[in-house]
């Protein structure tokens, strides 16, 4: 192989490396899966949003139906307000519920929508009333340790 052929192969290899790094960057920042269709915005209030981030997926039955648009704190109720951008082709009933779930044991968090049974659908600007906050692993471990200590302390006094 000539020197020019080797240089061309090295150039293609470097170009492939840049493309792979760009793809990984888009995948890590959740920009690769942005929706291109029309969306409508709904909100939900949670007592604890855990590690939920903007652009996190909104899923129903495991299918991505939208993205988290923004997250803010209500100054009066001190609840996290999550604004979601849902694709217009997915119409959810007004009595749907939203939960903050985790993909796998320690994976990224996302919003899970469970459809209700009402005939009227959510419209732009509506708020989902039934919500379930994120399960924080540290709180569960602390509660388990506290319960163990309480059980052990009760036996020692007997």
Does some domain include residue 102? yes
Does some domain include residue 96? yes
Q: Is 140 helix (H, G, I), strand (E, B) or coil?
A: helix
Count of other CB atoms within 10 angstroms of residue 79: 17
Does some domain include residue 154? no
- Structural domain harbouring 21: 1-32
Instruction: Name the CA radius of gyration of the chain, rounded.
Output: 23
Angstrom distance (rounded) from CA 16 to CA 59: 33
pTM for this one? 0.68
Average pLDDT by consecutive 10-residue portion of the chain (158 residues)?
86 91 76 67 92 91 92 92 93 92 81 91 90 80 86 59
Verify that 95 and 117 share a domain, yes or no. yes
Number of domains comprising the chain: 2
């Amino acid at each position: 192989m000539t020197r020019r052929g080797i240089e061309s192969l090295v150039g293609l290899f470097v170009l492939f490396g840049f493309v792979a790094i760009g793809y990984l960057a888009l995948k890590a920042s959740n920009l690769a899966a942005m929706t291109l269709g029309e969306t409508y915005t709904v909100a939900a209030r949670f007592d604890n949003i855990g590690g939920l981030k903007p652009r996190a997926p909104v899923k129903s039955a495991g299918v991505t139906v939208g993205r988290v648009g923004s997250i803010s704190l209500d100054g009066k109720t001190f609840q996290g307000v999550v604004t979601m951008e849902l694709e217009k082709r997915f119409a959810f009933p007004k009595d749907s519920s939203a939960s903050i779930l985790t993909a796998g044991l320690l994976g990224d968090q996302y919003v899970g929508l469970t459809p209700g049974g009402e005939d009227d659908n959510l419209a732009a600007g509506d708020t989902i009333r039934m919500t379930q906050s994120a399960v924080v692993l540290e709180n569960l471990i602390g509660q388990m340790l506290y319960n163990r200590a309480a059980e052990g302390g009760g036996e020692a006094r007997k």
